[in-house]
Amino acid sequence: MDLKHSINKNNIPQHVAIIMDGNGRWAKQHGEDRIFGHHEGVNSVREIVEACGEVGVKYLTLYAFSTENWNRPKDEVDALMELLVSTISLEAINLHKKGVRLQVIGDVESLPASCQKELQESMDLTANNTTVTLILALSYSSKWEIADAVKKIARKIEEGTHKSSDITSKLIEENLNTKNYPDPELMIRTSGEHRISNFLLWQLAYAEFYFTDVLWPDFRKNEFFKAIISYQNRERRFGKTSEQISSN
C-alpha cells in the first residue's frame, strides 16, 4: 500500500536527519562485498530525496561518512570516496532539475581534493534551488563540530569582538556548521542500531527518534512515509504537560 496518502499534510517535519546504516550487512546478506551495499544505498538516497520533495520536507540531512569512518579498512574508505565523487558528478544535474540544493557539513577539507571539487561545483550549480535542501554530513562528527564552534567563539573573544558573557545557545548555534538550517524534528536510523554515533548531538536535543530494522539499501519511499506517520502520531511536549499541549 502506498502510505503517502495517509500522511497529514499539515504536520510535515521541516527537517529530517537520517543515519543511513546497514549497507555492509545488506551486502553480506546478498553474498557480495561491503562496497556493493554502499552502491545500492545510493538508490535509496535518490528515492528519499524525491520523497522529501513529494511530501514537502524542506531539509534532509544524510549522515554519509563519519569522522570515525576514517578508521575503516583503507580499501573501503577509498571505495567510499570514489563512490562519493562519481555519485555527485552523475547526480548533480538530476538534483538540479528537481530543484534540490546541495549543501555539506563536516570537515570538508579532510576529503580528497577531487571530492571537494565535485562538491563545490554541485553546490554552486544548485545554490539557488528551493524545493529541498539536501545536506550531506561528510567527515562529520558532532564533537568535532562543537569543538570547532568553541574554537571560533574563543577566537572572537581573543580578538575582543565578543565577551564571555555573550555566550548563549544562540551564539553557539551561529557557530555550528548547521547555522543556516532549522533543527531536525525527526531523526531516523536504519539497520536496528539504537545509537546516535556522534551525529548532530546539539541539533537533535528535541528531535523525535525513529528506529527501524530495515537496512539502508531497503529503506525506500514507503519506509520513509512510515517514519513520517510515526512522527505525526507523537505528542511533542517540550517540557510542558499533555494538558497544556491539547488546550492549545
Nearest approach, Cβ of residue 51 and Mg ion (Å): 22
Taking CB under 5 A as the rule, does residue 223 contact Mg ion?
no
Active site residue 69: yes
| Nearest Cα residue to 80 out of 20, 147, 156, 125 | 20
Taking CB under 5 A as the rule, does residue 185 contact Mg ion?
no
**Which residue sits closest to ligand IPE, CB atoms considered?**
24
Active site residue 78: no
Taking CB under 5 A as the rule, does residue 41 contact Mg ion?
no
Taking CB under 6 A as the rule, does residue 25 contact ligand IPE?
yes
C-beta neighbour count of 21 within 10 angstroms: 21
Angstrom distance (rounded) from CA 66 to CA 173? 21
Q: Which stretch in 61-69, 82-90, 94-102, 159-167 sits in contact with ligand IPE by CB under 6 A?
A: 61-69
Residues 199 and 145: beta-carbon distance below 8 Å: no
Site string for ligand IPE, 206-225 (x = CB under 6 A): ----------x---------
DSSP 186: E
Residues 73 and 108: beta-carbon distance below 8 Å: no
Taking CB under 6 A as the rule, does residue 139 contact ligand IPE?
no
Alpha helices in 31-112 (DSSP H): 34-55, 74-97
Number of residues lying near ligand IPE (CB under 6 A): 18
Site string for Mg ion, 5-24 (x = CB under 5 A): ----------------x---
Taking CB under 5 A as the rule, does residue 212 contact Mg ion?
no
| Nearest Cα residue to 43 out of 96, 106, 87, 100 | 87
Active-site residue, from 2, 10, 11, 21: 21
Number of residues lying near Mg ion (CB under 5 A): 1
Task: Find all residues with CB under 8 Å of 105, minimum gap 6, and list them.
Answer: 61, 135, 136, 137, 138, 140, 145, 177, 178
Active site (catalytic) residues = 21, 69
Positions in the binding site for ligand IPE (CB under 6 A): 19-25, 63-66, 68-69, 80, 191, 195, 197, 216
